[in-house]
Chains A and B, each alone.
Chain A
Amino acid sequence: MIMINYLVNRMDFQMASFITSGLLVIIGLYGVFFVDNVLKKIIALEILGSGVNLALIAIGYNGGTIPIKLPGVSVEVFAKESAYPLTHALVLTNIVIEASMLAVMLGVSIILYKKYKTLRSSVILKED
């Protein structure tokens, strides 16, 4: 109850984003650990990556405007009001790397299905 009160009092846009990203990471990790299907594991990894991206964007949020300077706005005023551009750049990099990783994982899962005729990771790893 004390913890819930603490979170509710601190809750704002940024805190809600942090909690959501934490839950996305946990859901993705659950899928990777406990789900048997290879394609579902890949989907879980994408959910985990989305949680990480959301956390990075939330870190860059400071209540101001997006990091695009409009004509007529001075650099000094813009620097005080803008969100942090570094985290946006990191997220863009992460999205591209996730897309590359996804393509390779899908290719390998197609090969696994051709070889083993199943997508159950327990069967592929010869556990049962």
Chain B
Amino acid sequence: MNSKRDLAVAISFFVFGASVLYSLAHMQISPGVNEVYLTHYIIPNYVCAVIFDWRAYDTLGECLVLVVAVMVSWIVFGKSLYDNTYLKELFHAPESDDYITLQGWGEYTPIIKFLAFPMSVLMVALGIITVLGGHITPGGGFQGGALIAAAFILSVIAFGSNSPLWFDHKFLEKLEALGALGYLLLGVAGMFIGGYYLFNFTEINGFTIFPAPKEIITAGIIPYLNIAVGLKVLAGLSTAAFLLSCEKVIIEKISKSEEKLE
């Protein structure tokens, strides 16, 4: 039984692999809609224009994908963190806000402790630059948000819950909701002003949405969408990494509570 199924899997694997290589070797490429994207100027970063103006619904979809992934992580791990009464009722555990402790973790060398916080500050600054300059230079909300999340994770790994760069998980939830809602509401504003959801309007009643030099005055709502996406990504990735790292502490708490019950 196993050998027959393995043989079938091997045959289908080789057929699929050969067809993948053959089709890639004979790829025929046509620019298609790219000609429209390239000949209509919106902002200097044309990838950002595609992501937030031409195909803004696609970016809305991927924002919500990340939100759902963080929600699933909460469902799997977060209940005992978010609602301490669950732990209290089930195991009579003492309520504590110290989710990450260095007990059981290796103590890091002074090199890591000395360098982690300055590195985190620099990474946050670089992330902010990447988010704000996303419509001009390479980068944007996703790249900048990931940088700031990496700074948060670095500090938490080096210092635990005593990290100088610390966001409470409830604050991260609010930040993620703020970013996602910011994106959604900017789309609704476009509906009122231009008649379409996520319409890229450049002014309201004579006021310019994004005051800028003449060449990039057509950015419109794109910088604000970048900021919303940056907030959502930094909060989402920080929360997901936070929850995965807290699992050990949760299990330790439950084990200690079980010992007390015996």
**Interface 1/0s, chain B 233-257, versus A by CB < 8 A?**
1000100100110010001000000
Q: Is B182 an interface residue (CB 8 A)?
A: no
A42 an interface residue at 8 Å Cβ cutoff?
Answer: no
- Residues facing A in B30-82 (CB within 8 A) are 31-35, 37-39, 41, 44-47, 49-51, 55, 58-59, 61-62, 65-66, 68-70, 72-73, 76-77
Q: Closest CB-CB distance, A14 to chain B, in whole Å? A: 8
Give B61 Cβ to nearest chain A Cβ, in Å. Answer: 8
Q: Is B38 touching A89 in the complex (CB atoms < 8 A)?
A: no
**Alpha-carbon distance A110/B62, docked complex (angstroms):** 25
Contact of B137 among A68, A79, A107, A108 (CB under 8 A): A68
B204 touches A (CB below 8 Å): no
The minimal Cβ–Cβ distance linking B196 to chain A, given in whole angstroms, is: 19
B4 → A minimal CB distance (Å): 14
- CB atoms of B34 and A59 under 8 A apart: no
Which residues does chain A contribute within 8 Å of B39, judged by CB atoms?
75-76, 79
In the complex where A29-B13, A68-B45, A103-B244 touch, is A88 in contact with B27 (Cβ < 8 A)? no
> Is the CB–CB distance between B50 and A93 below 8 Å?
no
A82 to B76, CA, bound (A): 45
Say yes or no: is A106 at the interface (Cβ < 8 Å to chain B): yes
CB distance from A45 to the nearest CB of B (A): 15
Q: Count how many chain A residues have C-beta atoms less than 8 Å from C-beta atoms of the other chain.
A: 51
A contact set with B: CB distance below 8 Å: 7, 10, 15, 18-19, 21-23, 25-26, 29-30, 33-34, 55, 59-60, 62, 66-71, 75-76, 78-79, 82, 84-86, 88-89, 92-93, 95-97, 99-101, 103-104, 106-108, 110-111, 114, 127
A-B contact list, 12 entries, CB within 8 Å? A26-B17, A59-B29, A68-B45, A69-B45, A75-B41, A78-B38, A79-B35, A85-B46, A85-B47, A89-B58, A100-B66, A110-B244
Instruction: Show the binding face of B for A, using Cβ within 8 Å.
Output: 2, 9, 13, 16-17, 20-21, 24-25, 27, 29, 31-35, 37-39, 41, 44-47, 49-51, 55, 58-59, 61-62, 65-66, 68-70, 72-73, 76-77, 137-138, 140, 142, 215, 233, 237, 240, 243-244, 247, 251
* Further contacts, 10 of them, CB under 8 A, given A86-B32, A110-B247: A22-B17, A67-B38, A76-B39, A88-B47, A96-B65, A96-B233, A103-B73, A103-B240, A107-B72, A110-B76
